Chain A
Amino acid sequence: MLRLRNVNSFYGNIQVLKNINVEISRGEIITLIGANGAGKTTTLMTISGIVPARSGEVLFMEKPIHNMRPDIIVSLGISQVPEGRRIFPYLTVSENLDMGAFLRTDSENIKKDMEYIFELFPILGQRRNQPGKTLSGGEQQMLAISRAIMARPKLLLLDEPSLGLAPLIVKQLFEIIKKINIENQTTIFLVEQNANLALKVAHRGYVMENGRITLSDSAENLFSNENVKKAYLGL
């Protein structure tokens, strides 16, 4: 479904991604784990077209997308939940969700999807007329994921959804992520520092170090890999 082939990305003169190769098939949950500054966020931003790749190819359903504008990429079916949630602070909860469905025109279904989200996260329904910035961290993360789902993406990019949240809420979130994957057949690319959690939900994983992919294997194998254990699982 998504393929990154020898991708190199830069911030100014600094090369962040070095010959990245990633492959994601339909319906999978793939995780990308690595330390701070390894280039995980940049990988997602490159896929979304915010930090365009300087060389290499990004193929989505066999179509090259690395030269496309971010809004076109969204329209093809790739949505991202960026790091730090990035809720529109002065838009209400329902306006934030509306923005998620910005490119859709089927207003009947948008309404239905919004109801579905309020079922999934009742707290968002209660707060639908509150500005986004008044939500707690966990609520904002729920809203951020919901906003991305409102686009009915084929591929959902998640950047550190567990960051700064209480363990209980994190557990809830990961249940939902699994649910989205199974119920809607949404392919998920999950970037996480919390390797323990990520490897539990993912089918396969990639390990990133200093802008390079150093390992790629099934989640179970990565879980039992000695180096991964030492470096990322703290075992």
Chain B
Amino acid sequence: MEYFFELILGGLTRGSIYALIALGYTMVYGIVELINFAHGEIYMIGAFTALIFTSVLTLLGFNEIAVIVLASLLAVIYSSAYGYTVEKIAYKPLRNAPRLSPLISAIGMSIFLQNYVLLAQTSDFLPFPNLIPEFEFIKPYRHIIGSPEIIILLTTSIAMVLLTFLIKFTRIGKAMRATAQDRNMAMLVGVNVNRVISITFIIGSALAALGGVLIASHVGQINFYIGFIAGIKAFTAAVLGGIGSIPGAVLGALVLGLTESFATGYVSSDYEDVFAFGLLVLILIFRPAGILGRAAAQKV
């Protein structure tokens, strides 16, 4: 039974990270109908930036907590700037082009960013320091859950709540929903659509970078290629939940995380991906729009 709980917690932790990345995919898709294949790279850049800032801040003699907070914050800001710039350079000029063009541009951007980090940093795995301190109160339950898991679950939950609040109740959130539902009409009520799209990319990138920092610190090593794999998984999660749907992305990510966790725990870690993508195939057969996705709205 304890093993079962361990697997559940492991799955939720994994799912939380997928969710942070999947939200970026789904939000961008909801607004510009583009699969942003460079999104995984933003996550990877988040991890790298955090590593660099951690080293610098530790060298400067900041204490542990300050290092975590500042490094995460700086990584988030830095990656958001990347997300913003990628949109401006690679997608905005193609806003009215056929849909295939921005998709190809996104794949190009992904390859470019991977190789850019490869050249600027290294092709080897780099050790990433464990930023998360051990909590005393968790010691008795150490065999089920550790502090990194708690921090990941907690941070993700807070991020989700904030995002939900932003989208449901703020002016910019309403503008984002309106733009997603009918871009031209949003313009006609006075929404600066370009700004809304930029903000969407910034929020998505910030969440992905947060995921990058958390997972890098948890796993303990990073390289230039981690964005690709995480990106594919998060994309799967977004499709699973129904691309374009925000609660769908979170649900899809948690389902995916749990599936992988159970596959690893009860079958073999070699079969983790088989189960993950098998689930995707099944969902797409029986619910092509995803778990919470809605069929494309008919425009009258």
Contacts and interface: CB of A to CB of B under 8 A. Distances in A.
Interface stretch (A85-93, A194-202, A226-234): A85-93
Interface in A119-153: 133, 147, 151
A9 interface: no
Assign chain A's interface to a size class: 20 to 34
B174 A151 contact: no
Contacts of A147: 189
B190 A95 contact: no
A50 B190 contact: no
A74 B177 contact: no
B175 A50 contact: no
Contact of A70 (B187, B299, B300): B187
Assign chain B's interface to a size class: 20 to 34
B188 interface: yes
A80 B178 CA distance: 16
B184 A71 contact: no
B174 A91 contact: yes
A96 to B, nearest CB: 9
Contacts of A151: 189-190
A88 B185 CA distance: 8
B297 interface: yes
A39 interface: no
B91 to A, nearest CB: 19
A119 to B, nearest CB: 22
Given A90-B177, A91-B178, A84 B300 contact: yes
Interface of A: 48-50, 69-71, 74-75, 79-80, 82, 84-86, 88-91, 95, 98-100, 102-103, 133, 147, 151
Given A82-B188, A100-B189, 11 more contacts: A48-B187, A48-B188, A50-B187, A70-B187, A71-B190, A80-B188, A86-B184, A86-B185, A88-B181, A98-B174, A99-B178
